[in-house]
Amino acid sequence: MSFINDLELRFRDLNEALSFVLAILSLAVAFLSLNPLYFGISVLTATTAIVPHEIAHRQSARSYGCNSRFVLSFKGFTVTLLVNLLSSILHIGILIFVSGFTAIFCRFGYMGQELEGKTAFFGPLTNLIIAFLALISLGFIHNDSIVETILSQIFAFNAYVAFFNLIPIPPLDGFKVFRWNKTVWIAGVLISFVLTFLFV
């Protein structure tokens, strides 16, 4: 157990850029392909789903005077990598992301439910905005299969990440949003559900 805890601490001490790279790869392996172009597209779309999401958490927390940064969890990264890799190999169709989180430290001490809920909601909200922009952009693309593939994956990735993160189970964002404002949570879940399961 102490060995696992030591790895957990080491992962959390990684610089933010490397943490982002590893987190992106743990999600992109869900669409592992021998075709480097296709896998490259998966890495690109995973980047659009993870980096803006976590930066939205970080910057919203900082706007309230808190310090924040994205950190990688050894256990979360391992579970995400293995589940997504097995899903890709076995064609199960499961996609999860619990590789890391935005750590928030407030000078004034404990974060209240409102502040915690608002900073949590900014992540999925950012994914929904990106999904909408990709969906709108698809309407202007004609006879360009690569661009259409990229935009379609950006839309699908972001819609799903928003929906998954709004599940009201800790440590997901949905738990904090639900506890803060159930109306906001319901709106987010309904929109992300429609985008994920009716448009994809």
If you average pLDDT over residues 103-112, what whole number do you get?
76
If you average pLDDT over residues 152-165, what whole number do you get?
95
Could you tell me the residue range of the domain that residue 184 belongs to?
2-199
Question: Looking at the predicted structure, is the pLDDT value of residue 41 above 70?
Answer: yes
Q: With pLDDT > 70 as the criterion, what percentage of the chain qualifies?
A: 97
- Nearest-angstrom CA–CA distance, 145 and 168: 37
Name residue, tokens 């790895």: 7
Side-chain half-sphere exposure of 36, counting CA atoms within 13 A = 0
Query: Does the model's pTM come out above 0.85?
Result: yes
Under DSSP, is residue 144 helix (H, G, I), strand (E, B) or coil?
coil
Ranges assigned E (strand) in the chain: 66-72, 100-106
Question: Looking at the predicted structure, is the pLDDT value of residue 188 above 70?
Answer: yes
Between 105 and 124, the more confident residue is 124
- Nearest-angstrom CA–CA distance, 153 and 200: 9
Mean pLDDT of the chain: 91
Annotate 33-67 with b (16+ C-beta within 10 A) or e (fewer).
eeeeeeeebbeebbbbbbbbbbbbbbebbeeeebe
If you average pLDDT over residues 73-97, what whole number do you get?
92
Q: Give backbone dihedrals phi and psi of 35, rounded to 5 degrees, phi first.
A: -85, 110
Between 3 and 78, the more confident residue is 78
pLDDT value of residue 200: 58
The CA R_g of the chain, rounded to the nearest whole Å, is 17
Residues 145, 138: contact at Cβ < 8 Å? no
Lookup: tokens for 80: 């995400």
Number of domains into which the chain is organized: 1
At CB < 8 A and 24+ separation, what contacts does 73-79 make?
Answer: 73/8, 73/11, 73/12, 73/98, 73/99, 73/100, 73/101, 74/4, 74/7, 74/8, 74/10, 74/11, 75/4, 75/8, 76/100, 76/101, 77/11, 77/22, 77/23, 77/26
Question: Looking at the predicted structure, is the pLDDT value of residue 111 above 80?
Answer: no
- Nearest-angstrom CA–CA distance, 14 and 145: 38
